[in-house]
Amino acid sequence: MKAILLVGGKGTRLRPLTLHTPKPIVPIFNRPFLHYQIDLLKQVPEIDEVILSLNYQPRRIEDVFGDGAEAGIKIRYVVEPAPLGTGGAVRYAGDALTESVVVFNGDVLTQVDLAAVLKLHRERKARATIVLTPVDNPTAYGLVETDKAGNILRFLEKPKPEEITTNYINAGIYILEPDTFDRIPKDTPWSIERSFFPSFIERGETFVAYQYNGYWIDIGTPEKYTQVHRDIMDGRYQAPPFAGQPARHVFRGDGARVDDGAVVEGPCFLDAGTVVRAGAYVGPYSVLGHGCVIEEQARVSGSIVWATGRVGQEASMTDAIAGRHVHVGRGAVIGPGALLGDKSVVTDYSRM
């Protein structure tokens, strides 16, 4: 059995972080995001190969994952000649498949029981099964309406308040039968949500929902990307290096050093080789990548700094995100919501 991961997007909502780092390999702590999705797929023994549907900077992703040996599952790469949309990408990647296929959107982090989803799909002899998840604000999403038996009735795109009949949305996880892919035009941009899925309703085919009420998040915005780290640190999503750890855990990688007189408050993450110098402060929900240096009297709180970042003396970062090799000068103040792309240099005493 195969799985297709739709990871061809440019990650525009995360720019400038994704200008040189495709979204699938954006780090969550010190692991590329795609590892978390692969870990979930590996829980289903039947899945023996993951097909990555790529378009944007495919070589960067292949350089990280190779043939999948390190990830523990075979990985195959399919590169779209041009962006084909979610439906077109599924057809392009899965045109030769003959058995049920798991499809994942590339933004989704979840702990759904995939084996249970597959079991429902088979019991119902469904042509397609969608995982649905509830949201607090239904007006901000396209909703999926079902009957009491879990059959999908219709899709409601960002409805008005008086049109809302459910708070369940498409979670971006599907079980599909490949013999339906011929209804997606070849080599044509096509939406799986707007064009492919409605065809099952129109044809009266068995099209069912698996309602999942557990952890689910779309990591594709800076706010959600930050939230994922905090959820893992707080135990809402169980993943290393915080799974099973006490509250306010401070993770220190190999060779991470906190000098005398520095203060580090958890929960936070100091990757291998990180140095926090005397008089510096690293506050809760900070994530410091490999080889970061926090200079004397600097303050970092609630911020994510990718590998080899440096925060200068007396500088401060609060609730910000910095890409790789960023240098924040002495006395600079980086405020909430700031996004610094790779190799950014913030000069001394700047404010942003």
* Domain 2-214 = CATH 3.90.550.10: yes
Lowest mean pLDDT among 126-130, 139-143, 174-178, 279-283: 139-143
Q: Which stretches within 179-313 are classed as H helix?
A: 197-202, 222-234
Instruction: Grade residue 312 by pLDDT with cuts at 50, 70 and 90.
Output: very high
Predicted local distance difference test score (pLDDT) of residue 251: 96
Lowest mean pLDDT among 18-22, 206-210, 247-251: 18-22
Residues 350 and 109: their CA atoms lie apart, in Å, by 36
Tokens of 343: 């190799």
User: To the nearest whole percent, how much of the chain has pLDDT over 70?
Assistant: 100
Predicted local distance difference test score (pLDDT) of residue 107: 86
**Cβ proximity of 242 and 260 under 8 Å:** no
Residues 294 and 316: their CA atoms lie apart, in Å, by 10
Q: Does the pLDDT of residue 71 top 90, yes or no?
A: no
- Cα 346 to Cα 62, 124, 305, distances in angstroms: 32, 58, 14
CB crowding 237-271: b at 16 or more within 10 Å, else e: bebebbeeeeeeebbbbeebebeeebebebbbbbb
What count of Cα atoms within 13 Å lies in the side-chain half-sphere of residue 91? 21
Predicted local distance difference test score (pLDDT) of residue 294: 98
User: Counting every residue, how long is the chain?
Assistant: 352
Residues 111 and 148: their CA atoms lie apart, in Å, by 24
Q: Does the pLDDT of residue 93 top 90, yes or no?
A: no
Residue 142 exposed, middle or buried by CB count within 10 Å (0-12, 13-18, 19+): middle
Domain spans of the chain? 2-214, 242-346
3-state SS of 36-81 is HHHHHHCCCCCCCEEEEEECCCHHHHHHHHCCCCCCCCEEEEEECC
Which of the following CATH numbers is that of domain 242-346: 2.160.10.10, 1.10.3720.10, 1.10.240.10, 3.40.50.800?
2.160.10.10
Q: Does the pLDDT of residue 51 top 90, yes or no?
A: yes
Tokens of 281: 């402060």
Q: pLDDT digits over 217-249, tens only?
A: 989 899 999 999 999 999 999 998 998 899 999
Residues 277 and 257: their CA atoms lie apart, in Å, by 8
Residue 286 exposed, middle or buried by CB count within 10 Å (0-12, 13-18, 19+): buried
Instruction: Grade residue 49 by pLDDT with cuts at 50, 70 and 90.
Output: very high
Ramachandran bin of 287, using left for φ above 0, alpha for ψ from -120 to 50, beta for the remaining angles: beta
To the nearest whole number, what is the mean pLDDT of the chain?
91
Q: pLDDT digits over 102-140, tens only?
A: 999 888 999 999 999 999 999 999 999 999 999 888 777
CB crowding 54-93: b at 16 or more within 10 Å, else e: bbbbbeebeebbeeeeebebebebbbbeeebbbbbbbbbb
Instruction: Grade residue 192 by pLDDT with cuts at 50, 70 and 90.
Output: confident
Listed ranges 92-106, 163-177, 294-308; the one with the highest mean pLDDT: 294-308
